[in-house]
Amino acid sequence: MSAQPAPASAPEPVPSDDARILVVDDLRSSRMLIGSVLKSAGFSNIDYAGDGIEALERFEAHEPDIILLDIVMPRMDGFEVSHAIRNRFDSDVPILVQSGVQEAEQRVRAFDMGATDLVSKPINAGELISRLRLHIERRRLIARLKRYQKRMDEELHTAEGMQMSLMKEAPEVDAITYPRQARMETFYRPSYKLGGDLWDVFEIDEHRFGVLMVDLSGHGVSAAINAFRLHMLAERSEADAGDPGAWLARLSDELYEILPIEHFATAFYGVFDKRDLSLTFAGAGAPTPVLRRHDGSVEHLDASGLIMGCRSGGQYGNQRIALQPGDRLCLYSDALYENFDTPDGALSVDELSALIVATMEGEVREGFTTDLIQRVFGSMPESFPDDLTILMLEVIQP
Amino acid sequence: MDYKIEEGGAIIKVRISGVLTFDDHERFKSVVKAINESDSATAEIDLGETKMIDSAGIGMLLLANDRAKKAGKEVRLTGANGHVLKVIQLSKVDEIIPVES
């Protein structure tokens, strides 16, 4: 086995780097020295300034990727430059301050004035290059992440608009319910841009309309995608949606085909018929609907039932209640009463029901859903921990 | 959530405490794994100390049940009370996973 001959002593190619570096130093000889160190390390895009004022001019003319800054300079010192860049120009460009090892107080002050890091003075070539590369890389990484985040935000925003458009606007709902002797109020807010709640109100025939409220398990993007799928399935079979139990059973079977095992949906589906003012409904594990009769009495409907999409052949029974003008029914998703941060603070059905009924007191008026949210949460929260849907159906006078 | 596993003979017992939610997804994977790798034919998931469960938590129980079944094992839920019991009753999960009080 023979030893490999040593490679000919050709200099290792230096990777070139076009990061824009602004070197600020009042001594021409220092600038020259630093410039040659940078060039031999492959940096090709170097700018120079001889004092603080000139540094800010250069900065304004073309913002660098990193600044190598001396402290003691005529006209304007490095502290002021650093302070101006952070405050006046509101820039987070990395600033490396050259500082003697002994000058402890100066070093602390440099950080106070916005320095990112220190390099020793006089310049040590190896240290200078290492620190420059570190901060340039870090800046590039952050820029990449910011670009990525911006793109994701834009995409989520677009998707959010698409999802919101699945839900009808108030005038569309009114056009369906008023001719059928009912009024509905709706509220929907995803916990984070996209959500897994879905509601719909749609015509069945001239006498009847359907009210669907679904909560897909989980939240965020995956729940939203499942909500889109379910919306498609539901829309396809709206025509024969007159039998709530059979309709949920079919939706459940279809969901079972497409959902992963750990995903499912809870649902309430009801058909209101103006001929006898009845509501025929079926539940699939939906939160308990609260009905306040026109005379003030309160009933809790049973919307329990096998969650949809967990197995094929699930059965959902129909229930039917007779309603009268002035009766008001509230449907809601579990975000209205669950509290995972403080489990003991979660509302029981009776507690929530009392709040719902109190909100329903009085004359017919708009704003039930926002009133209810304020009663439950104390005020209108900026955001909710989970997707929140509230639907209120009221039978009106003919 | 936290969990404790007791293995002994025919039954592997997993006690889940705290709240079982979306955030526990990763940790719950080790519960699924422990059940499937045990020699016991029956897994008992004890929810006696589980304070709350969300839809993702129910999903995890469904997943554990499905994986165990595929490995020829049985899963049952025990001890559910309070919020967890209400969720189970509302969602009729007992039609899929046997529930014992």
User: Mean pLDDT, to the nearest integer, of A74-91?
Assistant: 94
Candidates B54, B58, B59; nearest CB to A338: B54
**In which element (H, E) is residue A11 found?**
none
Band (A11; pLDDT cuts 50, 70, 90): low
Structure tokens at B21: 């939610």
Q: Which amino acid is at A31?
A: R
For residue B55, what is the nearest residue in chain A, using CA coordinates?
A217
Identify the residue among B49, B54, B55, B62 best suited for mutation to test binding to A, counting A beta carbons within 10 A and taking the highest: B55
Give the separation between CA A92 and CA A102, rounded to whole angstroms: 27
Q: Which percentage of chain A shows pLDDT scores above 70?
A: 95
- The answer, yes or no, to whether residue A42 has pLDDT greater than 60, is yes
DSSP B41-59: SEEEEEEEEEEEE-HHHHH
Please judge whether A340 and B92 are an interchain contact, meaning their C-beta atoms are less than 8 angstroms apart.
Answer: no
Give the separation between CA A88 and CA A86, rounded to whole angstroms: 6
Q: What is the pLDDT of residue A100?
A: 75
- The answer, yes or no, to whether residue A239 has pLDDT greater than 70, is no
Cβ of A178: how many Cβ atoms within 10 Å?
A: 12
For residue A333, what is the nearest residue in chain B, using CA coordinates?
B55
Please judge whether B59 and A263 are an interchain contact, meaning their C-beta atoms are less than 8 angstroms apart.
Answer: yes
Q: Which percentage of chain B shows pLDDT scores above 70?
A: 100
Q: Which amino acid is at A69?
A: L
For residue A264, what is the nearest residue in chain B, using CA coordinates?
B59
- The answer, yes or no, to whether residue A7 has pLDDT greater than 60, is no
pTM (predicted TM-score) = 0.79
Q: Which long-range contacts (CB under 8 A, 24 or more apart) does A26-34 make?
A: A26/A50, A26/A51, A26/A70, A26/A72, A26/A73, A26/A74, A27/A70, A30/A70, A30/A123, A33/A123, A34/A68, A34/A123, A34/A128
- The answer, yes or no, to whether residue A358 has pLDDT greater than 80, is yes
Please judge whether B63 and A262 are an interchain contact, meaning their C-beta atoms are less than 8 angstroms apart.
Answer: yes
Q: Which domains does chain A have, with CATH numbers?
A: 17-145 (3.40.50.2300), 166-395 (3.60.40.10)
Mean model confidence pLDDT for chain A: 91
The shortest C-alpha distance from A303 to chain B (Å) reads 7
User: Mean pLDDT, to the nearest integer, of A114-140?
Assistant: 94
For residue B63, what is the nearest residue in chain A, using CA coordinates?
A262
The shortest C-alpha distance from B38 to chain A (Å) reads 22
Where does residue A319 rank: exposed (0-12), middle (13-18), buried (19+ CB within 10 A)? middle
Please judge whether B56 and A314 are an interchain contact, meaning their C-beta atoms are less than 8 angstroms apart.
Answer: no
Q: Which fold has domain B2-100?
A: Transcription Regulator spoIIAA (3.30.750)
Write the CB contacts of A202 (distance below 8 Å, at least 6 apart in sequence).
A176, A209, A210, A212, A238, A241
List the one residue out of A127, A130, A125 whose CA is nearest residue A30.
A125
Place of tokens 């729940």: A223
Give the separation between CA A343 and CA A45, rounded to whole angstroms: 58
Q: What is the pLDDT of residue A352?
A: 92
Q: What is the pLDDT of residue B43?
A: 95
Please judge whether A218 and B55 are an interchain contact, meaning their C-beta atoms are less than 8 angstroms apart.
Answer: yes
Which residues of chain A lie closer than 8 angstroms to B22, CB-CB?
Answer: 218-219
Q: Give the single-character DSSP code of A134.
A: H
Residue A337: how many CA atoms within 13 Å on its side-chain side?
23
Strand A182-189 versus strand A208-216 pairing type: unpaired
- The answer, yes or no, to whether residue A8 has pLDDT greater than 60, is no
Band (A101; pLDDT cuts 50, 70, 90): low
Please judge whether B63 and A263 are an interchain contact, meaning their C-beta atoms are less than 8 angstroms apart.
Answer: no
Q: What is the ipTM of this complex?
A: 0.90
Query: Regarding predicted confidence, which is higher, A336 or A345?
Result: A336
Give the separation between CA A373 and CA A394, rounded to whole angstroms: 18
- The answer, yes or no, to whether residue A6 has pLDDT greater than 80, is no
The per-residue pLDDT for range B8-58, each reduced to its tens digit, is: 888 999 999 999 988 898 999 999 999 999 999 999 999 999 999 988 899
Q: Would you state the torsion angle of the CA atoms of residues A254, A260, A261, A263, taken in this order, to the nearest 10 degrees?
A: -80
- The answer, yes or no, to whether residue B4 has pLDDT greater than 80, is yes
* Count of CB pairs separated by less than 8 Å, A with B: 69
- Residue window 18-47, chain B: list those with CB within 8 Å of chain A: 19, 21-22
- The answer, yes or no, to whether residue A326 has pLDDT greater than 90, is yes
Structure tokens at A24: 């600020």
List the one residue out of A43, A11, A293, A261 whose CA is nearest residue B60.
A261
Identify the residue among A331, A332, A340 best suited for mutation to test binding to B, counting B beta carbons within 10 A and taking the highest: A340
Cβ of B83: how many Cβ atoms within 10 Å?
A: 21
Band (A13; pLDDT cuts 50, 70, 90): low
Please judge whether A340 and B21 are an interchain contact, meaning their C-beta atoms are less than 8 angstroms apart.
Answer: yes
The shortest C-alpha distance from A256 to chain B (Å) reads 13
Tell me, letter by letter, the H, E, C secondary structure of A53-96: HHHHHHHHHCCCCEEEECCCCCCCCHHHHHHHHHHCCCCCCCEE
The per-residue pLDDT for range A375-392, each reduced to its tens digit, is: 998 888 888 888 899 999
Identify the residue among A197, A216, A217, A386 best suited for mutation to test binding to B, counting B beta carbons within 10 A and taking the highest: A217
Strand A117-120 versus strand A95-99 pairing type: parallel
